[in-house]
């Protein structure tokens, strides 16, 4: 598959990026490593971000310690601790909503933004400047009997993503 993306910045300049199916939307390729060989502790790259999953917690029954500011899952929360490093040459926005969890049955789960607010000490992540790293907890609400298998990490909603085995 081959496609061209043209982005127009706020100053009117356009940037063209040519990409194939395995590349991210900004022309940077994701790491070409099989998900079964890349696991917790290994760095993967997608676009301007290098991701390292440092820990996975399952069967979490509440996000947040405050009795008045917390969230209870419909099933179970999975907390995925990720270090996100900007390896590019300009600031890049990080969004938990770009990340996906896939369970052993092949079902794909979106993050739970409200639970992330309670699970992260500093949820004002936003832009990550070049060379800086932000440590985040990505939260997923999955069925109580589900087992996480892989995590798809993306630098943007249009990128190809990088896969990490977490199960």
Which tens digit of pLDDT belongs to each residue from 38-57? 999 999 999 999 999 999 99
Please report whether residue 83 resides in a domain: yes
104: containing domain: 29-165
**Run of H or E residues at 40:** none
Can you give the pTM of this predicted structure? 0.77
Please report whether residue 53 resides in a domain: yes
Domain count across the chain: 1
Residue 139 has a pLDDT of 96
HSE, CB side, 13 Å, CA atoms: give it for residue 72.
2
Distance CA 154, CA 161 (A): 4
Please report whether residue 112 resides in a domain: yes
């Amino acid at each position: 598959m081959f496609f061209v993306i043209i982005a127009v910045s706020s100053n009117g300049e356009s940037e063209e990026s040519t990409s194939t199916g395995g590349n991210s939307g900004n022309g940077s390729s994701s790491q070409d490593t099989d998900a079964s060989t890349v696991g917790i502790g290994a760095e993967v790259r997608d676009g301007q971000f290098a991701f390292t999953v440092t820990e996975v917690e399952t069967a979490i029954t509440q996000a947040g310690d405050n009795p008045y500011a917390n969230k209870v899952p419909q099933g179970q929360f999975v907390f995925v601790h990720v270090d996100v490093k900007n390896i590019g040459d300009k600031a890049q926005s990080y969004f938990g909503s770009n990340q996906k969890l896939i369970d052993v049955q092949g079902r794909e789960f979106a993050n739970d933004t409200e639970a992330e607010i309670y699970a992260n000490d500093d949820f004002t992540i936003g832009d990550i400047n070049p060379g800086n790293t932000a440590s985040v907890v990505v939260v997923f609400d999955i069925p109580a009997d589900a087992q996480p298998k892989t995590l798809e990490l993306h630098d943007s909603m249009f990128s190809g993503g990088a896969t990490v085995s977490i199960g």
